[in-house]
Amino acid sequence: MIRGNRIQLGLSLLTALFLLATLFAALLYGLSPATPAARGPLLLTAFVAILIGSLVFILFLLRWLLRPYRQLVGEAERAPIESRGRKSRDEGEFVLETFQSVVAQLQRQRKELQQLSAQASERADSAVKFSERIVASVPSGLIAFDSSGNSMVINAPGRALLEFDGKALGQPVASLLRNIPQLAQMVEECLQTGKLYRREIIQTVASNGTTRRLGGTIAPIDLSPDRGARGALCLLTDITEVTELREQVALKNNLESLGEMSAGLAHEFKNAIATLHGYVQLLQSLKLDERGQTAASSLLNEVRNLSEMVTAFLNFARPQPLQMEDVSLSELIQECASELRAVYDERGVELNVTEEIANLPKVCADELMLRQALMNLLRNAAEAVPDDKAERRVKLGGLKEVDREGDEWVVMEIEDSGEGIPQSDLQRIFIPFFTTKEKGHGIGLALAHRVITEHGGTLSASNKPPAGAAFTIRLPVRSD
């Protein structure tokens, strides 16, 4: 600082001298004779004085321009530097060392920034992988759509429910859900209006022709709240088994209530029918003309049909206790096929019993009741084939399966080549007196359903295009 003050003081003195010299030259020039010879030395003196003054002025200008540089050097001298060596050094070397120190510090900060960036990227990748694992682990089908209606996310259960084997991501709603139009309509309405659907039951038909019920929740998701972009999230669960079980329980309760309520009335009908039967037989014993005998015979047939229907209903309404014993299903099925051979031959229908039936295990059941149920189902399958149908067959197959709890079941399926069952009638065919046949009473299927249910099994019906209807029987295997 002292050295700088001295230089400044010296330059100030030189400037003052320059100004005095210039003033002195001007005075000499003004007081000297006005001859060129006399003025020459004066002009030279003035030129030298002006030149010296100009140099001094340039020095002052450079010092003013380098003032920020001197301030930077002063700040660098006051800052702590680890590599400080000698106390007296050149200012250029000192600035270079300061610059190198700043560069080194910047490099360290850059490395720290790179480490932070790598950690942030690793956390983001970990979060993405964790989200993917969560989506993949969801047991229900999960499908997400963007604001344009294209699929963004779909997990394995979602692919299985949609039966979609191709590229699922990026597909529009109409293409991805073409087999489930009801769900596609819900998703499009959710994308347009933001409507929320909770626990909706969606009915669809699988590729094998069976009817499935899906429980679905469709909710809007905000993809970009500031722009108003809205997507849709679908959660789908196959509730076919739960729904069928619920319907079977409800049907069983309704049938029990109906049986208890109508058993007494049916018994009274049976007494009245017995009286009618006696009177008809009395009429036949009288001497009647041909028209009277024909009328009496027709009346007797109708009374017998009515008596058989009431007897069947009473058997359904007041079931007898089951006489449980070990029953060989293969032998029972062969006996039923032999008894119904005349019915199948009369209708020109082929009964095809698969080889797997011979390997079915024994079950604990009431043989007479189970025989009656199988007879009703096989007879009903033969009658379901129309007279004008080219393919006339009934297929009876079976196998043994193990459920998730480890319980063993026998599964038998009776499939006909008829026209199938209308979708609206699938849930009503096991109700007593419901029938689509011209000469049917509607008791056979109801009785078969009650017998299978009492044995701890299930009886369900479905359609299998291009074939007809299929009735599936599940019975628990006899435990040793």
Strands 393-402 and 350-353, how do they pair? parallel
pLDDT at 162: 79
| Percentage with pLDDT > 70 across the chain | 69
Query: Could you tell me if 464 and 210 are in contact, meaning their C-beta atoms sit under 8 angstroms apart?
Result: yes
pLDDT at 88: 45
Helix, strand or coil, per DSSP, at residue 179:
coil
The CATH number of domain 139-238 is 3.30.450.20: yes
Distance CA 154, CA 145 (A): 9
Residue/partner pairs of 242-245 with CB below 8 Å, 24 or more apart: 243/201, 243/213, 244/458, 244/460, 245/458
Percent of the chain with pLDDT over 90: 6
Q: What is the mean pLDDT of the chain?
A: 77
Q: What is the pLDDT of residue 229?
A: 73
Burial class (CB in 10 A: 0-12, 13-18, 19+), 56: buried
The predicted pLDDT at position 83 comes to 45
**What's the confidence (pLDDT) of residue 279?**
78
pTM over 0.85: no
Of 251 and 377, the structure prediction assigns the larger pLDDT to 377
The CATH code belonging to domain 325-476 is 3.30.565.10
The per-residue pLDDT for range 240-268, each reduced to its tens digit, is 878 877 877 777 777 666 666 666 666 66
pLDDT digits (tens, 9 = 90+) for 55-76: 766 677 667 667 766 776 666 5
Give the contacts of 348 (CB within 8 A, at least 6 positions apart): 392
Task: For tokens 């039923």, name the residue.
Answer: 336
Question: Measured between alpha carbons, how far is 373 from 452 in angstroms, rounded to an integer?
Answer: 8
What is the reported pLDDT for 464? 81
Q: What is the pLDDT of residue 414?
A: 92
Q: How confident is the model at residue 82 (pLDDT cuts 50, 70, 90)?
A: very low
CA distance 44 to 230: 91
The count of other CB atoms within 10 Å of the CB of residue 342 is 9
What pLDDT is attached to residue 413?
92
Residue spans of the domains in the chain: they are 2-65, 139-238, 243-317, 325-476
